Structure 1
Amino acid sequence: MRRFGEAIVRGQTYRKRPGAYAILERDGQILLTHQQAPVPEYQLPGGGIDPGEGALQALHREAFEETGWSIANPRRLGAYRRFVWMPEYEFWAEKICSIFVARPILQHSAPREMGHTAVWVTPEEALDLLANQGDRHFLARWLGH
């Protein structure tokens, strides 16, 4: 599985943290989430898969929490790994990021997750704004770049 981001720190113990994230396209625009903390950044909507939860269930839940939109027809594009410090949880993680493409179908509310803002941007803006190299890679591949 391809790895993006920081180098692995030898001797550091990493906790596996599987997650599901989505490229959400509608009418030629991409729906991103802007997360204020711990570091302000633009991300693909998604997040960790909770114990007892499947990737698709987590994807629907996380997309709704971070954007306020329900999604349909998720299709898996692939996965990658990142090794990162997660200050909000205070542990080092091996994030195993499954990337999907899905269609946002209905906005129910503003994002329910504190510190998140849903933002519609062009695909080119999304490539520039996404903080994570792995997310940018999958978006560029999906766009045919």
Structure 2
Amino acid sequence: MRRYGDPRREGQSYRARPGVYAILPRDGRLLLTYQAGIHNEVQLPGGGVDPGESPVAALHREVYEETGWRVAGPRRLGAFRRFVFMPEYEIWAEKICHIYLARPVRELGPPPEPEHSVHWTTPDLALRSLANPGERSFLQRVL
């Protein structure tokens, strides 16, 4: 599996952290989330898979929490890994990032998760804005 970002640090222990993230096109634009606070970056909507939760159920939950939208037809595109420090959990994590393509079908309201805001953008701007190189790589392949 391809790695993006820093390599594993020698002597550092990492907690496995599977996550799901969505590329969400609609009417020539893409639905992204901006996470303020600790991260302060533009991201594909998504996040961690809770214990006992299926990846697709986690995808629906995370997209809703970060955007307020429901999605349909998720299709897994692949995965990549990252070795990162997660300050919100105070852990070093080996993030296994599963990327899906889905359709945003219904806005239910604003994002219920604090510090997230919705951003509809052009594909070009999305490629320039996404903070994570792994997310940019998958988006480039979709486009």
Query: Into which bin does the TM-score normalised by the smaller protein fall?
Result: over 0.9
Please list the CA deviations of residues 16-75 of structure 1 after superposition, one character each: whole Å capped at 9, or x if unmatched. Answer: 000000000000000000000212100000000000101000000000000000000000
TM-score, reference length from structure 2: 0.99
Matches within 5 A, 1:1-145: 1-143=1-143
How far 1:6 moved relative to its partner? 1.3
2:33 aligned partner, one-letter code: T
Runs of 4+ in structure 1 displaced over 2 angstroms?
none
Amino acid at match of 1:35: Q
Deviation for aligned residue 1:95: 0.2
Length, aligned pairs only: 143
Q: TM-score, normalised by structure 1?
A: 0.98
Unaligned runs of 5+ in 1: none
Segments of structure 2 that go 5 or more residues without pairing to the other structure are none
For the residues of structure 1 that align with 2:7 and 2:32, how far apart are their CA atoms?
Answer: 26
| Percent of pairs with identical residues | 60
Give me the whole-angstrom Cα distance separating, in 2, the residues matched to 1:134 and 1:50: 22
**Take 1:124 and 1:19, find their aligned partners in 2: how far apart are those partners?**
25
Q: 1:116: Cα distance to partner? A: 0.1
